[in-house]
Structure 1
Amino acid sequence: MTSMGNGPGTTGAWGRTRLEAEWLELVADVMAEPLGELPVPRLAMQLSRTFDGRACAFSAAAPDGAVTGEIYPLTERLDGHRAEVMEWGRRHAARFHPILVHYRATGRPRIAQVAEVPDEHVDRRLLTAWYAMAGGWGCADQLALPLLSDPTGMRAFIIGRDRPFSEREMDVARSLGRLLCGLDRQVRELAGRTPEPAAAAASRMTPRELSVLALLADGLTAAAIARRLFIGERTVHKHLEHVYAKLRVTDRLSAVVRAQHEGLIPAGRSPVGV
Structure 2
Amino acid sequence: MQLRARDYERMLDLAVAVLENGDTDTSWHLITGHLLEAFGCHSATYTAGNVADGTGHAEGWAPERLSAHVGDLVQRRIRQRHPLFFYTSPLEPRPPVNVSEICARWRHTEWYSEARRDFGAAYQMGVPLPGEHGILRNIVLGRDADYTARELAFATRIQPLLVGVANHVRELRRLRAGSLPAPVMTGHGLTPRELTVLGLLAEGLTTEAIARRLAISPHTVNRHLEKVYRKLGTNNRVSTVRVARRAGLVA
The TM-score range, normalised by the shorter chain, is: 0.5 to 0.7
Alpha-carbon offset, residue 41 of structure 1: 2.8
Q: How far, CA to CA, are the matches of 1:131 and 1:51 in structure 2?
A: 20
Alpha-carbon offset, residue 61 of structure 1: 0.8
Relative distance call for 1:211 and 1:161 in structure 2 (3 A) is farther
What is the aligned partner in structure 2 of residue 161 from structure 1? 143
CA contact (8 A) 1:38 1:183 kept: no
Relative distance call for 1:40 and 1:65 in structure 2 (3 A) is same
CA-to-partner distance for each residue in 1:41-100, whole Å, 9 max, x for gaps? 33222222221111211111123222311443354x3xxxx3552245154121223312
TM-score (norm 1): 0.60
- Structure 2 unmatched ranges of 5 or more: 212-216, 237-251
What is the aligned partner in structure 2 of residue 46 from structure 1? 34
CA contact (8 A) 1:114 1:141 kept: yes
Bigger RCO (CA 8 Å, 6+ sep): 1
- Counterpart check, 1:192 vs 2:181: no
Q: How far, CA to CA, are the matches of 1:188 and 1:91 in structure 2?
A: 21
What is the aligned partner in structure 2 of residue 273 from structure 1? 235
RMSD of equivalent CA atoms: 4.3
CA-to-partner distance for each residue in 1:239-258, whole Å, 9 max, x for gaps? 356x49xxxxxxx6xx53xx
Relative distance call for 1:58 and 1:166 in structure 2 (3 A) is same
The residue identity in structure 2 corresponding to 1:230 is: I
Alpha-carbon offset, residue 164 of structure 1: 0.8
**Alignment match of 1:135 (pick from 105, 116, 122):** 116
Alpha-carbon offset, residue 172 of structure 1: 1.7
- Counterpart check, 1:55 vs 2:43: yes
Q: How far, CA to CA, are the matches of 1:149 and 1:180 in structure 2?
A: 11
CA contact (8 A) 2:83 2:103 kept: no
Alpha-carbon offset, residue 30 of structure 1: 4.2
The residue identity in structure 2 corresponding to 1:132 is: S
Q: Could you say what secondary structure the match of 2:127 adopts?
A: strand
Q: How far, CA to CA, are the matches of 1:188 and 1:29 in structure 2?
A: 17
Alpha-carbon offset, residue 234 of structure 1: 5.0
CA contact (8 A) 1:144 1:156 kept: yes
